[in-house]
Amino acid sequence: MALRKDNSVDFVVLGGGIAGMRAAIDLAQGGRVIILTKDDLYESNTEYAQGGIAAALSEDDEVTLHRHDTIQAGDGLCREEAVRVLVEEGPPQIQQLIDWGMRFDRNGTKLAFTREGAHSRSRVLHAHGDSTGSEILRALMAKARTLPNIQLRPHAFVTELIREDGKVCAVNYLESSAPSARTIHAGAVLLATGGLGHVYKETTNPSVACGDGVAMAYRAGALLSDMEFVQFHPTALFVKGAPRFLLSEALRGEGAYLRNLLLERFMPRYHEAAELAPRDVVARAITLEMQKTRAQFVYLDLTGLDADHVQKRFPRIFSTCMKHNIDITTDLVPIRPAAHYAMGGVATDLYGATSLPGLFAAGEVASTGVHGANRLASNSLLEGLVFGARAAAAMLNKQPAAAFPSPPSKPGAAAPAHAASSAPPPAAAPIEKAVELVRGILWEKVAIIRDGKTLTEAVTRLVGLALPEPLPQSRPAHEASNILTVGQLIARCALAREESRGAHYRSDFPLKNSSKPPRHSYVSRDSAPYFD
């Protein structure tokens, strides 16, 4: 493709959440940085993060305990070296954030910590009660605005990574103000595009979270890892017709109970840590209770907590629920799980290097292996901070592409495209309809409890879905294509993993495969899912 050299910088950062902003601040030491965000600058998962950021900073805590809890939650699949980096580099990164003006909540002069599921200590820092991500972004943005080398460009939707001689050297993007795609050349590109919750019909994520980074890296030929591991947050507000607003795990950390429709507190039956069991356990327990009581929801019960404290500690949750006429201090709150976080993504080494020279990834879009099969609560903001800074260090030092395991010598079909079969190509669905179909299929067949039959149906239906060709040059059309690509990848990798582990639960393989050491899955444009 002929490139129009209309722009060139040292570093392009895709995404303005915690990982992208943190990286950009360090990259500014090495040259000109442009941050492209697909929507408003603040429209990211970071902005909406409630619960907080975990770090072993309290007097009764230790990094080894944080490490242990992270590995336990990851259900045998955490990359232990990545976990060590996370828990050891987290505290100094948080101190750096405080030095840049971040205001965490405090008890007097001391930082205030809360407890969340599967943590053995109260180690979750928060801000404005339940607006931690928003305060972090404010502080990072304020710091970035003092650095003349950083340019922020909102409403610039990147459609494609461009490679020359194998190296990622540019991106194409659409701007609402420009009639045709533009190109920016860069010495290195950082993917910090965040999550993929919108591949599912039910999600806590804002609508920008379409898996764009994963899809464009896949199209460019990058290796992806652990795509089958999608975390379902146990407690999303269930009000018909309303978005699935997140009800922070910190509510349970403060003592909220879960009750089924018969008002029974059920979690002690499922796990000794009851409501504070790992997220995958709680999400599955809720699903089973909903099935048992033939209900679409269960209840979160905060009525035993001090009403004043609840209102002050969770002002955003309190006011959002009030808009739906639910007073969380006196009413039982209808909730159910929703897609929340991707443990998998673009495979990286410990410095964000991907399998493609010139391309780095950090934050939710990346798969460092730090979360294993199930992320520990409030480790995601920490990951963005720590690995955002590490990716910047590698980009400044021009670190080469990382090495990853190769596919087996007889790889399966790269992608089970309908074109490879004798069936006629499917008729293209209108874009909005296609998106709704994909999101529905993922929610119905590739969600909290999966099995081979429904996963096979999902793969068949997703592979049989076509979008208009050529794809219109618009953000909705490209988002639809990304959602379809990512949906197919999750379904194919979920079908390939014949065991249950962490957030990936298969009712036809309900146990972990203990005959082999735990293995990560890999997939790329050129190879079917394989394990190593």
Phi, psi angle pair for 512, to nearest 5°: -75, 145
Which of 17, 20, 30, 51 touches ligand SIN (CB under 6 A)? 51
Least Å from the CB of residue 328 to ligand SIN: 14
Q: Does 374 bind ligand SIN (CB under 6 A)?
A: no
CA 394 to chain centre: 22
Task: Quote the tokens at residue 424.
Answer: 């006629």
Nearer to ligand SIN, 22 or 445 (CB): 22
Nearer to ligand SIN, 248 or 399 (CB): 248
Distance set, CA 131 to CA 46, 135, 204, 246 (Å): 10, 7, 15, 12
List the strands of the sheet with 230-237, edge to edge: 230-237, 333-342, 298-301, 257-259
Least Å from the CB of residue 421 to ligand SIN: 40
Least Å from the CB of residue 532 to ligand SIN: 28
Least Å from the CB of residue 528 to ligand SIN: 31
Least Å from the CB of residue 158 to ligand SIN: 25
Q: Do the Cβ atoms of 338 and 236 come closer than 8 Å?
A: yes
Nearer to ligand SIN, 158 or 377 (CB): 377
Task: Quote the tokens at residue 95.
Answer: 């101190």
Residues in the chain: 532
Residue 67 annotated to the active site: no
Give the binding-site size for ligand SIN (rule: CB under 6 A): 9
Q: Does 50 bind ligand SIN (CB under 6 A)?
A: yes
Question: In 332-383, where do the E strands start and end?
Answer: 333-342, 345-347, 359-361, 366-367
Interface region with ligand SIN, contact rule CB under 6 A, candidates 26-34, 181-189, 242-250, 360-368: 242-250
Region 467-486 residues binding ligand SIN, contact defined as CB under 6 A: none
* Per annotation, catalytic residue among 84, 279, 313, 506: 279
CA 505 to chain centre: 18
Closest residue to ligand SIN, based on beta-carbon distance: 51
Q: Which residues pair with 428 in a beta bridge?
A: 466
Show the site string, 103-132: x = touches ligand SIN by CB under 6 A, - = not.
------------------------------
Residue showing tokens 């494609």: 160
CA 272 to chain centre: 28
Which of 205, 287, 378, 481 touches ligand SIN (CB under 6 A)? 378
Q: Does 344 bind ligand SIN (CB under 6 A)?
A: no
Nearer to ligand SIN, 248 or 481 (CB): 248
Which of 250, 342, 385, 491 touches ligand SIN (CB under 6 A)? 250
Least Å from the CB of residue 341 to ligand SIN: 6
Q: Does 488 bind ligand SIN (CB under 6 A)?
A: no
Which of 46, 380, 399, 521 touches ligand SIN (CB under 6 A)? 380
> How many Å apart are CA 387 and CA 378, to the nearest integer?
15
> How many Å apart are CA 285 and CA 425, to the nearest integer?
41
127-142 in b/e form (b: 16+ CB < 10 A) is bebbbbbbbbbbbbee
> How many Å apart are CA 482 and CA 38, to the nearest integer?
14
Closest CA to 34 of 194, 213, 186, 220: 186
**Binding positions for ligand SIN, rule: CB under 6 A:** 50-51, 248-250, 341, 377-378, 380
Active site residues: 279
